[in-house]
Amino acid sequence: MRNTIVSLISIILGLVAGGILMLFIGSNPIEGYSYLLQGALKNIERIGNTLATATPLIFTGLSVAFAFRTGLFNIGASGQMLVGGLAASAVGLTFDLSRPVLLLVMVLVGLIAGGLWAFVPGLLKAKFNVHEVVSTIMMNWIAYWTIYYVVPGYFKGEFLETESKKLAESATLRTPFLTDMFDGSYINLGLFLAVIAVIIIAFIIDKTTLGFELKAVGFNRFAAEYAGMKVNRNIILSMLISGALAGVGGVALYTGNASSIQIGILPAQGYDGIAVALLGANHPIGVFFAAVLFGILYSGTGFMNAMTDIPPELANTIIAIIIYFAATSVMIERLLNKFMKRRSNRKDKSGPVVEKGDS
């Protein structure tokens, strides 16, 4: 409840700050925001695109949040997305299976690839106490260069050296039913996977013995150890699950929103996941809404830019400011406390008054 209020206040402050920026560059903020919203939600197609934009963010947000609950910083969602996307694309380009089986296998290999990519930092942390921030970032670059060589080497596109061959329509997560329903939008089955992931992760965290252990390790690993939990196993497991989530996020991005992988790009969604998790207070439901908000900002910004003089970078700026406020949530909480106190003080005044000193 408290977290929700803090996040909402951060968002409002971020939007207000964005509005002030718009004023500075001589634009009308009301107009700017109305175009931003229109760009994201004006018609059913745009709504579809917004949700599709949010989909990988839901996965990376969940990934970061889940690891964080066990006290781990997974900065490597980008790399995990890349290898997940690569594994799924490789399967999609290589095997000729019936569509449901093919898609299922693609999602599974993406999940496994992402999981393994995060397993390595987990193992390093558990066995050698290597900090996961360092090792996950290193794994990002290993993924980056792997793509750099594997894609041109084995899955080269027909015209471009710098991206993989396009997946056949039937080997992507796009489906006519969704495309038609959303008027030609690139929304795809990835969204369903994301919603399922949110539910599963929320369930694991709140309702299972696994979640109980992981959170205990995250809050206080010494107490967890004392109570007989296997701390190292939990660290590895948590990274594995976190990476698997990002891996499926990669599948959704590269075989759903897009149908090929470009080389030389670490997907920004991986890092955005940190922001999403932060704003979502590391709770799956919070992550979902935070990702949708980011989706709105990202997908509305183009239209806003087309209709006004406001540069598209404003979306990033607003997000940065929101994150700034969310990260300094202590400040907001202090304000909240003050506010509440003032209200309770006011209540007090109507109560009995204490006589002044008579000792």
For another protein, the binding residues (CB under 8 A) are 207-213, 215-216, 219-220, 222-230, 341, 344-345, 348, 351, 354, 356-357, 359
Half-sphere exposure of 232 (CA within 13 A, CB side): 9
Smallest distance, Å, CB 207 to another protein?
Answer: 6
Smaller CB separation from another protein, 100 or 356: 356
Smaller CB separation from another protein, 116 or 210: 210
Smaller CB separation from another protein, 224 or 310: 224
Smaller CB separation from another protein, 116 or 200: 200
Smaller CB separation from another protein, 26 or 330: 330
Q: How far apart are CA 193 and CA 229, in angstroms?
A: 31
Smallest distance, Å, CB 196 to another protein?
Answer: 18
Name the residue type at position 349: K
At 262 the three-state DSSP class reads: strand
Smallest distance, Å, CB 8 to another protein?
Answer: 22
Q: Read off the tokens for 147.
A: 């793509």
Smallest distance, Å, CB 205 to another protein?
Answer: 11
Smallest distance, Å, CB 128 to another protein?
Answer: 18
Residue with tokens 């406001």: 310
Smaller CB separation from another protein, 176 or 357: 357
Smaller CB separation from another protein, 153 or 352: 352
What are the residues facing 164 on neighbouring strands? Answer: 156
Residue with tokens 């921030």: 133
Apex 116 CA angle, 226 and 255, nearest 5? 135
Smallest distance, Å, CB 226 to another protein?
Answer: 4
Phi, psi of 304 (to 5 degrees): -60, -45
| Residue (of 245, 220, 218) closest to 234 by Cα position | 218
Smaller CB separation from another protein, 2 or 99: 2
At 156 the three-state DSSP class reads: strand
Smaller CB separation from another protein, 330 or 354: 354
Smallest distance, Å, CB 323 to another protein?
Answer: 23
DSSP string computed for 251-309: HHIIIII-SS-BSS---HHHHHHHHHHHHTTT-HHHHHHHHHHHHHHHHHHHHHHHHSS
CB atoms within 10 A of CB 164: 27
Smaller CB separation from another protein, 85 or 211: 211
Q: Note whether 102 and 88 are within 8 A (CB).
A: no
Smallest distance, Å, CB 72 to another protein?
Answer: 16
CB atoms within 10 A of CB 55: 28
Q: Read off the tokens for 268.
A: 């920004």
Smallest distance, Å, CB 238 to another protein?
Answer: 16
What are the residues facing 156 on neighbouring strands? Answer: 164
Q: How far apart are CA 68 and CA 274, in angstroms?
A: 10
Q: Note whether 165 and 158 are within 8 A (CB).
A: yes
| Residue (of 1, 165, 34, 2) closest to 93 by Cα position | 165
Element (H, E) at 312: none
Smallest distance, Å, CB 228 to another protein?
Answer: 3
Apex 36 CA angle, 13 and 58, nearest 5? 75
